[in-house]
Amino acid sequence: MALAEPVDPSPQRFTDLRGVPVSDLVELILQVQGPSRAWQRQANCMGVDPDLFFPERGASTREAKEVCRGCVVREDCLEYALANGEKFGIWGGLSERERRKIRRRRALERRAGGVVAAS
């Protein structure tokens, strides 16, 4: 009687086309980029299939947003996306449309602040 393989309790590890785990690739990128994106190591989405965060047009974003909901670096993720003009995917628990609204609102607030300062 053969023994069963032990169950790996870690999250499912997704790989690129060469079989390299995506989390290993992200770790390498973080090492090259330095501390400015070190927050990504703590993200709930580490080890989750990246396709979940880039749904086809019209597809549900519910599952991706659920991953983001309790994430301790959600604000960092959102601010990264806003600062870098990320136009696709779910970042910080928000869709492209939701981030566009924030960018518009902030732009209006900056203009309004500039008008007040100039008065």
Q: Is there a domain that residue 13 lies in?
A: no
Asked whether residue 97 is domain-assigned, the answer is: yes
Q: What is the DSSP-derived secondary structure letter of residue 44?
A: T
> Is residue 3 in a domain?
no
Q: Please write the tens of the pLDDT for every residue from 52-65.
A: 999 998 899 999 99
Please give the residue range of the domain that contains residue 110.
Answer: 22-118
- pLDDT tens digits along 75-118: 999 999 999 999 999 999 999 999 999 999 999 999 988 654 44
In a domain, 1, yes or no: no
Residue 8 is predicted with a pLDDT of: 42
- 112 located within any domain: yes
Asked if residue 6 is part of any domain, the answer here is no
Closest CA to 87 of 54, 118, 65, 63: 54
Kindly state whether residue 12 falls inside one of the protein's structural domains.
no
d(CA 91, CA 110): 23
Q: How many domains does the chain have?
A: 1
| Predicted TM-score (pTM) of this structure | 0.65
34 assigned to some structural domain? yes
| Contact call for residues 43 and 69 (beta carbons, < 8 A) | no
φ and ψ of 47, to 5 deg:
85, 0
- pLDDT digits over 5-32, tens only? 443 444 445 655 667 666 665 666 555 5
